């Protein structure tokens, strides 16, 4: 599933059947090459982060969670990863050989476990397993 | 065959870690082994008003060097400048043993010109970055005009910061195109190997 497809999808609590937010953006852990959390919009609770572990299912029409208690405020490592400097979209991509291979246009992830499957660029997509880091300057991939 | 770059093209190239942070940019090159290869890079901070950094980047720690960036694993691989200078001597544009502007002499005693830039051959990651030649401002006696010329170098040679000694044969391989320079180096070096 692509980030662009998933953004805006509603997040529904299975215990109350109420909508508890919409997917705003993705928080990526580049070392684990996974989506670490979702940053939600329009949440009824103070926090807006939904760690991947709190997700019951990433469905086609909605993301389900057990209850809104899984939505937390920014803290620790997640707060750092959610920093604007670690946003992946539109960032330049550098290979470990020092060449720029485009900018990130979209990211393909596995809705079952949050693994990053691929990084889409204007040109050839890059295998998600090549991802090394996402920093303020660039996204670094092995190659 | 390794890629050939001018040393001046390397300066200001951004240094990026695996984590994607731009921690520095190349300020200057520290040569090792008598000017025969790159020993380390001195660094400057990023940004308009950033000055030189107190850390340097040893060549063996460079993961990749490309047109757009120099990639390193993390900031932890940087060492204090003093340490990098101790293991190498002769910096391209400052301090002792300045290679730029020094006079190129053949071992038979004729001056070929003055060094304006250094040509570096960068091979596979982990390999040496060999200094393969110089760009020189030709001496008038050569009668080759004022266009900068490229001169291939043997693997090893003597450099004092004042003079650089090259084999007289090197004069036969002067060229003015970087593209044609690669093959000139190869033939020059294989010839040298045959003689000695």
**Cβ–Cβ contacts within 10 Å for residue B181, how many?**
23
Question: Per the CB < 8 Å rule, is B17 touching A135?
Answer: yes
Residue B124 contacts A, CB cutoff 8 Å: no
Over B19-71, what HEC string results?
CCCEEEEEEEEEEECCCCEEEEEEEECCCCCCCEEEEEEEHHHEEEECCCCEE
A113 pLDDT exceeds 70?
Answer: yes
The CA-atom distances, in angstroms, between A23 and each of A41, A77, A85, B2, B188 are 6, 20, 19, 48, 63
Residue B47 contacts A, CB cutoff 8 Å: no
| A117-139: pLDDT as tens digits | 999 999 999 999 999 999 999 99
- Characterize A95-134 residue by residue with b for buried, 16 or more Cβ atoms within 10 angstroms of its Cβ, and e for exposed: bbbbbebeebbebbbebeebebebbbbeeeebebebbbbb
Residue A29: the pLDDT is 93
Q: Which residue of B has its CA nearest to A143?
A: B64
Residue B21: the pLDDT is 94
Residue whose C-alpha is closest to residue B7's, from B147, B116, B123, B137:
B116
| ipTM, interface predicted TM-score of the complex | 0.86
Question: Per the CB < 8 Å rule, is B18 touching A134?
Answer: no
Of B184 and A57, more confident? A57
Question: Per the CB < 8 Å rule, is A97 touching B18?
Answer: no
Least confidently predicted of A16-25, A47-56, A77-86, B119-128? B119-128
Give the pLDDT band of residue A100 (cuts 50, 70, 90): very high
Residue B155: the pLDDT is 65
| A30-47: pLDDT as tens digits | 999 999 999 999 988 888
Chain A residues touching residue B65 (CB < 8 angstroms): 97-98
Least confidently predicted of A55-64, A82-91, B86-95? B86-95
pTM equals: 0.82
* Contact residues, A window 34-53, toward B, CB-based 8 Å cutoff: none
- Rounded to the nearest integer, the mean pLDDT of chain A is 92
Instruction: List Cβ neighbours of B172 (8 Å cut-off, separation of 6 or more).
Output: none
Q: Is A100 within 8 Å of B68 (Cβ atoms)?
A: yes
Residue B89: the pLDDT is 52
Q: Is A55 within 8 Å of A20 (Cβ atoms)?
A: no
Residue A140 contacts B, CB cutoff 8 Å: yes
> What tens-digit pLDDT sequence spans chain B (196 residues)?
467 888 888 888 999 999 999 999 999 888 876 667 788 999 999 987 888 999 999 988 999 888 899 999 999 999 998 887 776 554 443 344 577 888 888 888 888 888 888 888 877 655 677 788 888 888 887 777 788 888 888 766 666 767 888 888 888 888 887 777 878 788 777 776 654 3
């Amino acid at each position: 599933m692509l980030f662009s497809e998933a953004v805006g999808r509603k997040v529904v609590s299975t215990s109350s059947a109420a909508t508890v937010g919409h997917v705003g953006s993705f928080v990526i852990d580049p070392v684990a090459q996974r989506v670490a959390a979702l940053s939600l919009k329009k949440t009824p609770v103070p926090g807006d982060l939904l760690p991947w572990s709190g997700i019951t299912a990433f469905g086609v029409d909605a993301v389900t969670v057990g209850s809104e208690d899984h939505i937390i405020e920014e803290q620790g490592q997640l707060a750092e990863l959610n920093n604007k400097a670690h946003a992946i979209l539109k960032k330049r991509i550098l290979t470990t050989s020092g060449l720029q291979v485009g900018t990130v246009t979209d990211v393909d992830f596995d809705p079952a476990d949050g693994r990053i499957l691929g990084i889409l660029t204007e040109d050839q997509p890059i295998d998600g397993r090549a991802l090394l880091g996402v920093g303020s300057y660039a996204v670094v991939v092995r190659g | 065959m390794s890629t050939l770059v001018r040393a001046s093209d390397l300066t200001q190239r951004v240094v990026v870690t695996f984590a994607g942070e731009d921690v520095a940019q190349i300020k200057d090159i520290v040569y090792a082994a008598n000017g025969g290869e790159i020993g380390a890079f001195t660094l400057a901070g990023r940004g308009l008003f950033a000055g030189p950094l107190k850390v340097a980047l040893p060549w063996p720690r460079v993961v990749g060097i490309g047109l757009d960036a120099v990639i390193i694993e993390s900031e932890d691989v940087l060492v204090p400048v003093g340490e990098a200078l101790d293991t190498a001597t002769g910096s391209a544009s400052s301090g002792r043993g300045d290679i730029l502007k020094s006079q190129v002499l053949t071992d038979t005693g004729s001056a070929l010109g003055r060094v304006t830039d250094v040509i570096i051959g960068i091979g596979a990651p982990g390999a040496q970055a060999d200094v393969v030649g110089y760009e020189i401002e030709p001496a008038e006696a050569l009668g080759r005009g004022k266009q900068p010329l490229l001169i291939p170098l043997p693997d090893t040679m003597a450099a004092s910061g004042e003079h650089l000694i090259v084999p007289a044969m090197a004069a036969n391989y002067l060229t003015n195109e970087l593209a044609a320079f690669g093959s000139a180096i190869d033939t020059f070096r294989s010839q040298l190997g045959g003689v000695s």
